[in-house]
Structure formats: C-alpha cells, structure tokens
Amino acid sequence: MRKPVALRLSAALGTLALAAATGVVLNMPTASAAAAGATGYATQNGGTTGGAGGTTVKATTGTQIHQALCARAATSTPITIQVEGTITVGNTAKVSGTGCNTAAGVIELKGISNVTLVGVGAGAVFDQIGIHIRQSSNIIVQNVTVQNVKKSGSPTSNGGDAIGMESDVHNVWVDHATLLASGGESEGYDGLFDMKDSTKYVTLSYSVLRNSGRGGLVGSSDSDLANGPVTFHHNRYENIDSRTPLLRGATAHIYNNYYVSVNESGINPRAGGKAKVDNNYFKNSKDVLGTFYTDLPGYWQVAGNIFDNVTWSQPGDENNPAGPNPTSNTTVSIPYAYTLDAASCVPSIVTATAGANTGLKVSDGNCAATTPTATPTSTSSPTTSASPTATSSPGGTNLSIGADSDGSSKASGTSYGNVRDGDTGTYWSPSGSTGSVSIKWASATSVSRINIREASGATGNIGSWRVLNGDTGAVLTSGSGAGVISFAATSLKKVTFEITSSAAAPKVAEFETYA
C-alpha cells in the first residue's frame, strides 16, 4: 500500500537613491548568467539569454527582487538579480514601477523579459514562496532552492507550485534548481514545475525534484494543448507520486534523467503528447512511462534507457503502460545539438551535478562532471564604438548594399530599406522602444561583423541588443550600444539586430554587414 509522500521523506535601474533607500545593491559591470548558456528547447525561438548585457543587482528579500525589477527603465531592460538568503512570503511585498507588475507573497515575473534570477554566495532559498512566470519571455532561473509552497494551509503562494508558468510564456531556462515539497495534494501542495496556457520553449536542466505528489505538468487540462516543446535533462526525480512530467498535447525531449522512487506513474504523455525518452535511468519505481488516467492516447520514442527494479501495471481502458518492454510508437525530431551520457552512468553524473549549490557543475558528455566556462551568447560584450561616426566602418565590402531587409513593426515615416541604402540621413525606427531589423540575402552569406550606425540626433539611444541568426534563431552575440559588433563567422541568409532596450527612440541609419 502506498504511503503518503509527507510520511516518506543605475540609469537602467532607476536612481541610486532608490537603491540606497531600499537596500538593493547595484554592481555596474555587465551581468551574465553564471553557467555556460541555455540548452535544449530554450535555445530555439531566438534563444534564452536572460539578463545578459544588463546590470547586476543583489537582493536578500523578495521585496528587493521586486524593487530591482520595478526600477528598470522598461519591462524589457536586461537585468541579473543575484539572490542570497531566505526569501519568504513575509519579506515579499508588492512593488510598483515601470519595469514590473508584481504581487505580494509570490515572486512575480509578469509581463517582463530579459531577466536572470540566480542564487549566489551562501545560497538562495525560497521558503514557502513560489516563483510565478506569466506573460514573460527570456527568463533564466538558476541555482535556487524553492521549497514547501502550498495552495492550502498557511502560508499559501503561487497556487501551490514551486515554479509555475502560464499565459503566453516563452524561452525559459531553469537550471541547477532544487524543488521540494513535503507531501502531496492532501497536505496542501501542488506541482513542483508546471507549465500551462501557451508556455513554450522551456528547458529544465540539472535540477532536483523531490518529495512531492506531483512533479509537474505541461498543459493544465485536456483542452490546454498549445504548450511546449520542453526539454528535461540531467534532473533527479525522487519520491514523486506522478507527473514526471504529465504532457497534455505537448512535445518533450527527456534525456539523462535519474528517476528514483516514482511511486504511481511517471512520464505521462496523453491527448496527443509526445515524449522522446533517451538514456534515462529508472530505479525502484512503478509505471515510469505510458498514458495513464485517461483514454486519450499519448506517444513515445524510447532508446537506451535502463529500468532497474521497475514494475508495470496491466493495461486497461484508462491505463496504457509502455512496459514491461517499452518500444517506440512514434518518432520525435529534435532541432538542436546535444550529447547523451550513457544511461549506466546517469545515477552518478546526476548525483554529482544536479540541484542548487553544486557549483553549477555539468556533464562533459562522457559521464564526468565539469565546471563550464561562460559562452559568448551569455557573457561577452562585443567591441563597440562608443560614438560611431558616419565615416567609421570595418574594412571590406558592406554586404548590405544590394541586399534585402525586413523587421518588426516600424515607426511612421521610416523604412526597413533605409538601413541598407548607404545614406545616414535616412533611418528605420521601431514603433516602440524595442524591435528588430534584418538584412537578408537570396543565398547563404558569411558574416562576422556588423556596424550599427545611429541617426543624427539619436546617438546613444540604443541600449541592449542581441544579434540573431535569422535562419535558426540562434543568438550570435549580445551587448549594449551601437557601433561595430564582431562574432564568429556564420553562413546565413538572414541576420537580425534586435533592440531589447533603449534610452530614447532608437533610430538605425545604417545596418552594415561584413564578411
């Protein structure tokens, strides 16, 4: 008989005066995520870089986290918030400002973008308070512990989810987190990692999920089917009753995870959901893969998994376990590169790397733990001209002349073509403070440098930006300020300059490209 889980156990930031008054500590050098960069589906759809290119703020209370968000010039101004100490419902108040939309009793990342929340120093513990991501994009949550978040009892927070995402969320990377509960729904808890209502391009990596009735879901009901894709890799699920995860209509890539004591059911694709399940290790568990509690079928592709003391129930009208000898009943195409550890070493490599306060160690792809170095997409600021002039340019031919162009919504009276006409007297400007403009060619062209020239009277208006491979959405580099930007030579048909923040209306006179 199953026992209950509970029994088993700056200008960009506003004025310095505001910071001083609230106790927020500002560090002005360029911020970056602490690890090498996002993985899995979070690398798609333009990539996930969080607060790269922005300022860094230190916070020791939930209110200070909200203050840091609210003090930004805009909801898209990049920021890295370093968290140390214990965050609780009691020290998390609602804060108002131009860069936020917060609520008391929950860490509210709502209607915002370009944010990294990372635990530092002695560690960050979110105790009985959840992290709620809503109507937001390009978010990184890293090296934090979130524990005992309840939907009933006292205190309550975030509907009982440790980390919950909903309502048009995309590009989120949660990495090296420890998500804990002390029981199931009857004890007041819900899911540890939930995604619903159009949440897309998410990766959960090197994390621990433990002691909960529900690991997490993708899709809140059988009609909430517009979520995913999601990647789960190098995570440890331990003493979880079900939902590791539950996939309603969503696609998930699930590889190199360690499952210990999954008590009722595990990976549960249903209502058309698909799971690619590679090189995982399942131990002392029951019904770790299949469609359960519904007659709406899901599908799976399996390879290289190890099933160590796993039991399987008999098939029924609402019960379709994949075992005892799991075989594939679909195929799932993965659009990004990844390296699989052998399933036999998954228990050791996941134990050595997963969870908060493990030094952000990762697998080297050969079953050994390593500490990664930061990659250009998350840390470097390209060489820029502080005040580019109309005559300064890299050597070589400007490949933009004679090419084509497009972009996001533009301000009245401007044209995409103005950025490639060789005339600094004309310009393109987005309809708001952020936007993107692209140069494109009919055939693949090698590009390693661009030169962004601002229009007369608008010098210095461009704040943070990203340069994207328009063919794949990959982030080639990121930084702030106009001028010459260098990156690894890339063959592409389209290169995009995406402005993610600005001091005033940005105006791009010329978008020059060079081999």
The set of catalytic residues is: 243
Q: Measured between alpha carbons, how far is residue 368 from residues 254, 258, 350, 351 in Å?
A: 20, 15, 10, 11
Q: How far is CA 243 from CA 33, 172, 192, 213, 368, in A?
A: 29, 20, 10, 8, 29
Residue 263: is it exposed, middle or buried by C-beta count within 10 angstroms (0-12/13-18/19+)? buried
Which three-class secondary structure state does DSSP give residue 160? Answer: helix
- SS3 letters across 53-101: CCEEEEECCHHHHHHHHHCCCCCCCCEEEEEEEEECHHHCCCCCCCCCC
The two tokens of residue 419 are 């950025």
- Residue 70: which residues within 8 A CB-CB, separation 6 or more? 14, 95, 96, 97, 98, 99, 100, 102
Alpha-carbon gap, residue 119 to 58, rounded angstroms: 10
- Residue 279, CA atoms < 13 Å, CB-side half-sphere: 18
Tell me, letter by letter, the H, E, C secondary structure of 412-433: CCCCHHHHHCCCCCCCECECCC
Identify residue 79 by its one-letter amino acid code: I
* Residue 230 token pair: 């999601």
Task: Report whether 366 contacts 282 (CB < 8 A).
Answer: no
Are the C-beta atoms of 202 and 38 separated by less than 8 Å? no
